[in-house]
């Protein structure tokens, strides 16, 4: 069983999708802990309700990003975590942390990367006038929203969309492909070669 930690800062809807997915029969991974940098994040309640250990590591209590990331790293290593899933974790991780967890650290982003990196990706898509938007699960690299792509899903951009309606449509697909991506990794079917991910079909 792959041992997972989920890091988040807010309501934890992707955390809930992972909780639901990993609780299904024969899913080859389990969530060991849920960690938030925000003490009152709603995702903490979701994890507690599912019987998952919760931790709050408040970034405001640390003098530097490096010290905060060391506390994260210590917590993960103490629990023998195999895979770290970022699920709306609103902190930019240091180079040292990202390199230490290379190919064991994944993220979901609400755009079809490499388009529309950073904040407000849905509004960026609307401003650009694209007809398709979507989401991406990828391995994390030092650049913001950068790294080998594991999975993507597209949704139509409707003429009357605003950022909220488009975000809601994308979020449904985030929940699907994040769980699918974790399952592929847990089954040992994901290989990273240079900047690309290859999925073993068997």
Catalytic, out of 59, 109, 138, 175: 109
Q: Is 109 a catalytic residue?
A: yes
Tokens, residue 47: 């994890």
Tokens, residue 34: 């849920």
Active site residues: 109
């Amino acid at each position: 069983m792959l041992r997972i930690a989920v890091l988040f800062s807010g309501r934890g809807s992707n955390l809930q999708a992972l909780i639901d997915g990993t609780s299904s029969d024969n899913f080859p991974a389990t969530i060991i802990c849920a960690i938030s940098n925000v003490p009152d994040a709603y995702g903490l309640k979701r994890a507690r309700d599912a019987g998952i250990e919760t931790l709050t590591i408040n970034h405001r209590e640390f003098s530097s990003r490096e010290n905060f990331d060391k506390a994260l790293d210590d917590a993960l290593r103490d629990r023998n975590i195999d895979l770290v899933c970022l699920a709306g974790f609103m902190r930019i991780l240091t180079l040292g942390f990202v390199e230490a967890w290379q190919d064991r650290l994944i993220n979901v982003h609400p755009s079809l990367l490499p388009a529309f990196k950073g904040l407000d990706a849905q509004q960026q898509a609307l401003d650009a006038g694209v007809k398709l938007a979507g989401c991406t699960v990828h391995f994390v690299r030092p650049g913001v929203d950068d790294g080998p792509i594991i999975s993507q899903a597209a949704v139509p951009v409707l003429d009357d969309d605003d950022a909220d309606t488009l975000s809601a449509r994308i979020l449904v697909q985030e929940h699907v492909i994040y769980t699918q991506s974790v399952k592929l990794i847990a089954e040992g079917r994901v290989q990273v070669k240079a900047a690309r991910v290859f999925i073993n079909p068997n």
